[in-house]
Amino acid sequence: MESDLQRPSGDGARAALNELTADRERLAENVRVPRALMAGFGGVAAWWVGMAAATSPGQMYQPPAMGWLALAVSLVFVHLVQRDTGIRFRRMGPRALVAVAGAVVACLALYSISLALVSLGLHWGVVLTSVTAFASTTWLAGVAYSSAVARLRHG
């Protein structure tokens, strides 16, 4: 035990630092992206975009109050991802943030398109925008999570 506590040689210090890098590599390799939960984010996005079908675009337009519920459900999914993987990230990294921002922008754009479709009486078109929201958000959530995991390798 005592020898562990002594100052290491240069080689010993290098070996210790290399081991830290190897451990982070191993940690990153062991993490699997929780695909089902990523699809959960997609489901929330599809639900939110689909809410446009129940609105009445025009002068009396009232945004659906369920938007806050969608946000709350998203936070529940974040919690579930942390519990499932056993990791809570400190920083997600710029690539992950771009992916999350991309998902938000895509959902806002799809919601706007949905409102336009509803105002034209094309309610069925909201199915397409909802499916697109599901696919794009699921994919972007996976990209964000993978990026955060890859960032672990760099400490």
From the list 94, 89, 96, 126, the residue with the least C-alpha distance to 111 is 126
- Give the C-alpha separation, 35 to 89, whole Å: 18
SS3 93: coil
Contact range with another protein by CB under 8 A, out of 70-78, 118-126, 134-142, 146-154: 146-154
SS3 86: coil
127 binds another protein (CB under 8 A): no
Q: How many residues bind another protein (CB under 8 A)?
A: 31
Contact range with another protein by CB under 8 A, out of 35-43, 66-74, 83-91, 109-117: 83-91
- Give the C-alpha separation, 121 to 148, whole Å: 42
Binding another protein by CB under 8 A: which of 80, 97, 109, 128? 80
75 binds another protein (CB under 8 A): no
- Give the C-alpha separation, 38 to 149, whole Å: 14
Look at the alpha carbons of 17, 84, 48, 142 in this order and tell me if their dihedral is positive or negative: positive
Contact range with another protein by CB under 8 A, out of 22-30, 37-45, 99-107, 113-121: 22-30
Q: CB of residue 71 vs another protein: minimum separation in angstroms?
A: 21
From the list 93, 98, 100, the residue with the least C-alpha distance to 78 is 100
Q: Which residue has the tokens 């830290």?
A: 20
Binding another protein by CB under 8 A: which of 64, 69, 73, 89? 89
Task: Decide whether 89 or 139 has the Cβ nearer to another protein.
Answer: 89
- Contacting residues toward another protein, per CB under 8 A: 1, 4-5, 7-10, 12-14, 16-17, 19-20, 23-24, 26-27, 30, 80, 83, 85-90, 151-152, 154-155
